[in-house]
Homo-oligomer: A and B are copies of this chain.
């Protein structure tokens, strides 16, 4: 994962600065400075600023992915699996607001335009988990007969909106509120 210390310092600095100020307001020189390396050093690890932005997205998506799978209750009832995902998802992002800010910005900028959904949800790994979950639910007549994308949107769209509001300080989410929101999401998709 971490090919070197400097590389991860750069990644860390970039993520912070990008999240705080936006891609184009985060000069390479400043990223370097915060990472504690020389400007030129970044280019040993990333071909260009764009590559840094993209690589960052890759890494964060992987991390998100891994998080969602942690303790994923394979083989357990659909409902339980659904609640696992919808618990981990906001939990992680609220704990890592930089990650959320970065991703949100990425997916709505020209960079992320070619990436699907809130791609977080569609990494090779998650892809299957989610597709399986929703397809299975439809087959078992537990979930509404809607395309997977729609089910996905119903399940995670509200969470994303809320997480943003929380991070920006417009709400103060607590465990209980999130719980009730997830249940409402379930109501949205269940038959």
Contact = CB atoms under 8 A, between A and B. Distances in A.
Interface residues of A, number: 45
A110 B144 contact: no
Nearest to A117: B165
A-side interface mostly: helix
A118 B180 CA distance: 21
A109 B105 contact: yes
Nearest to A19: B110
Given A146-B184, A181-B150, A188-B188, A161 B168 contact: no
Contact of A153 (B153, B158, B168): B158
Contact of A105 (B21, B108, B118, B150): B108
A165 B180 contact: no
Contacts of A149: 162, 165, 170-171
